[in-house]
Amino acid sequence: MNPHSIATWQQSVVLLYQRKAEVLESYEATVSSPSLTLQIPAVMRLRNAVATQKSAVRFSRINVYARDRFRCCYDGKRYAPRDLTYDHVIPRSRGGKTNFAGIVTACKACNARKGARTPAEAGMRMHFKPYTPKTIPLGQPLLMSLETAPDLWLPYLGALACSA
């Protein structure tokens, strides 16, 4: 079972009413109608599987981060998404392409240090090479701060949550 997305409490109640999901965890707070009172769902499970495999992975910043596992290519450390950027291995000024094969994830400090040079010219070692992924888990990773995630969610997030 993998997290799919974060829904509003209103969306959760609709999914529950439509019998498309079941509640795994609830908050103490309630919502009421004239004939019904419900605890607000905190964690739900969809009754039907969601397709997670797509025929091709669309190029986007977040998909580059997910492919590189939120690690800087140059120092190898994992970062929160807000501390990352993507870097053209061959600078754009020299014909570098903005696609999966020409981009890697970099922390802001390493990207600034590299500047408009190749990694070799900047004396920087690449910890991995760019490639076009065949799949990205979940289509979009869940980006959130573990510090602000409700405690009820934590057992269900596992390794998929990236500290933001």
pLDDT in tens, 90-132: 999 999 999 999 999 999 999 999 999 999 999 999 999 999 9
Are 71 and 80 contacting, i.e. CB atoms less than 8 angstroms apart?
no
Instruction: Supply angle C-alpha 155, 160, 164, rounded to 5.
Output: 100
Q: What is the pLDDT of residue 154?
A: 76
1 vs 64: CA distance, rounded Å: 24
Q: Please write the tens of the pLDDT for every residue from 75-93.
A: 999 998 889 999 999 999 9
Are 24 and 163 contacting, i.e. CB atoms less than 8 angstroms apart?
no
Model's pTM, two decimal places? 0.57
35 vs 42: CA distance, rounded Å: 22
- Alpha carbon separation from 83 to 26, 70, 97, 126, 150 (Å, rounded): 33, 10, 23, 18, 23
144 vs 161: CA distance, rounded Å: 6
CATH of domain 61-122: 1.10.30.50
- Alpha carbon separation from 17 to 43, 55, 105 (Å, rounded): 15, 32, 42
Domain boundary assignment for the chain: 9-52+137-160, 61-122
